[in-house]
A and B are shown apart, each in its own frame.
Chain A
Amino acid sequence: MRQDIGEGRGAGMRDRPSGDAALLLLADSRLPAGGHAHSGGAEEAVRLGTITGPEDLARFLRGRLATAGLVTAALAAAACELAAATADHPAEPYGQADGDGNTPDAGTDADPARPWRRLDAEADARTASPAQREASRVQGRLLIRTARRIWPSAVLDTLAKAVPEGAHHPIALGAAAASAGCDPYQAAMAAAYNSVTGPATAAVRLLGLDPVTVHRLLADLAPALNDAAHAACASLIDDVVPDGAPQNGPAHNAATQNGAAAKTRGSGWPALPGHTAPALDLLAEGHLNNPMKLFVS
């Protein structure tokens, strides 16, 4: 884990100069993490004729941002917050028995993988469509692979081990954002932005739309993107590091005093947004049945 991640928190994470530039890198469609092959339902909507031009696309993007975009933004913000809060936990104890002789798989409070699995399960519960869960996990796995080389950190190592089949994409994005030096708001912004740029680019390719027109649509969404990122962060209860949380040292030393912290860590996660888009579910599942598809999702 980079040194500045844990330390930055007390001083206010937005003060860290690295965040903004890192956000640009994370949100850039050129980030080599496999995102270019996902249309977020746009390919199927084009095939079915529910996206035929810029007007349909604008409505598609606005609806996607208000639902899946907001949910992924909130999950990314929560993951970023968790990553920052647990940056002090060394990755090494993972896989070893802890002080009480329990294995991490037993799910002790000291197990750094446990909150990641819980947060990942919150993403599962918000993704009813198995096709969307699969697409999200594939993208999460590829992002973690890429991020671990760009921004190596104990948090990313922990997450990769905690969810070996691939964490959900917003969870991976939040952890990567923290490792890159972003704060939860920036993580949320990257997630919200990704939720519309992928489908927009796909529509340009599939329908031959004027790329400037489509970028204008994205620019029109800028206020909504800000709102989504704000709403995502407002939905977080800042309970991840209550007073008395361990500052350093082996996790098991803090296990007892950490009891309250462990109880409250992520206590706000159940209430995170769960906005669902029934049409996106249908599109994602229909996409898998299309033998001539160009995009993964």
Chain B
Amino acid sequence: MTTPPSGPAASRASVTARAVITTEAAGGRTRLETLRSDPPLTLRQTGPGLVHLVSTAAGPLGGDHLLLVIDVAPGTELEVRSVASTLVLPGSSPGDSVMVVDARVGAGASLRFSPEPTVLAAGCSHRMAVRLSLAEDANVVWREEIVFGRHGERPGRCRTRFDATVAGRPLLRQELLIGDPAVDASPAVYGDARCVGSTLIAGPAWDAVRDQKGERRATIGDGWATLPLAGPGVLASALAQDTVELRSRLERAESMADVYAGHMAGENGACRAATDTSGGRRAVAW
């Protein structure tokens, strides 16, 4: 995940890996109950309630099946980051590379998931699936950034699926298809952008006001939008030419999320939890 190999495909055998992070409440604090690495998914605790994904092998490569399970116990807080961007490469094995993240966030718990971008190298064939299951009053900040190929390179193919539910109700279901030239360059889809990113910010503070007539207006800027969802959350969304511009746009969009939070946010802990889990960098202006 760290050092982009120069060759078109790395030549290790494909792997199936399952890494696990679970938390538990210990005397009012969050303790990591389980932290199980499974190379190439290697996990390191780097702070209280903070875990970094560390790369110990190239890839994902074609044929890899990687699963990351995250279970944030009720009342606990977890932040997951990565030390570097992920470079998805074609492999010597046939088949797609597959990355699945299965995350549950319990009642009153909060999760911040903000890894570095995923770069789709030429020739890759990648699938990503996120299943994010939130309890009624769970909080989450979930960021995804995807880069269409290394510099000057056409990306391989990628399909992502993101499903977030709150107490079983659908909050956000999105798929992205990347790598079909007829669609990538469509002014309806990515236009001339080479990076796409989004951050789901959800929690009880964003529960839509029931008696409100009509939809709330989004906030938009150059290449970014802050979209209040029908359910309790907002989606920050951005398109950009490069990762620096993408991050900057996404952070601007994220910073508008609190505009849509209800006044009760301070009382129910959403603000506090989100601030506490943002680590050293406060991307979101809470």
Contact = CB atoms under 8 A, between A and B. Distances in A.
B80 to A, nearest CB: 23
A66 B224 CA distance: 22
Nearest to B169: A121
Interface string B206-247: 000000001111101001110111110001011100000000
A278 B190 contact: yes
Nearest to B220: A285
Contacts of B239: 278-279, 282
Contacts of B227: 128-130, 281, 285
Contacts of B237: 128, 278, 281-282
- Greatest chain A CB density within 10 A among B161, B185, B189, B235 is at B189
A6 interface: no
A186 interface: no
Nearest to A64: B188
Contact of B191 (A50, A64, A127): A50
B196 interface: yes
A106 to B, nearest CB: 16
- Greatest chain B CB density within 10 A among A64, A275, A280, A286 is at A275
A285 B175 contact: no
A282 B235 CA distance: 12
Query: Chain A: interface secondary structure?
Result: helix
A122 B171 CA distance: 8
Interface string A121-135: 110111111110110
Interface residues on B, range: 35 or more
Contacts of A131: 215, 217-218
B183 interface: yes
A126 B173 contact: yes
Interface stretch (A22-30, A55-63, A93-101): A55-63
A63 B220 contact: no
A63 B187 contact: yes
B173 A270 contact: yes
Contact of A125 (B188, B216, B230): B230
A60 B171 contact: no
A279 B188 contact: yes
B170 interface: yes
A272 B161 CA distance: 11
A54 interface: no
B225 A281 contact: yes
Interface residues of A, number: 43
B220 A279 contact: no
A289 B191 CA distance: 20
B14 to A, nearest CB: 26
Contacts of B185: 59
A66 B186 CA distance: 10
Contacts of B215: 130-131, 133-134
B6 interface: no
B174 A276 contact: yes
A59 to B, nearest CB: 5
Contacts of A250: none
Nearest to A42: B188
A84 interface: no
A51 interface: yes
A81 B182 CA distance: 31
Contact of A127 (B182, B193, B230): B230
B176 interface: yes
Contacts of A130: 215-218, 227-228, 230
A274 interface: yes
A125 B187 contact: no
A112 interface: no
B171 A63 contact: no
A288 interface: yes
A125 B231 contact: yes
A21 B224 CA distance: 43
A274 B182 contact: no
A243 to B, nearest CB: 26
B186 A270 contact: no
Given A278-B238, A279-B189, A288-B217, 13 more contacts: A50-B187, A59-B187, A60-B186, A63-B183, A66-B189, A127-B230, A131-B218, A275-B174, A277-B188, A278-B198, A279-B186, A281-B225, A289-B220
12 contacts: A45-B187, A45-B188, A60-B186, A121-B169, A125-B170, A127-B230, A129-B227, A130-B228, A131-B217, A274-B161, A278-B193, A278-B196
Interface of B: 161-163, 165, 169-177, 180, 182-183, 185-191, 193, 196, 198, 214-218, 220, 223-225, 227-231, 235, 237-239
Interface of A: 41, 45, 50-51, 56, 59-64, 66-68, 121-122, 124-131, 133-134, 270, 272-283, 285-286, 288-289
**What are the 4 A-B residue pairs with the smallest beta carbon separation, nearest first?**
A63-B186, A125-B170, A124-B230, A130-B215
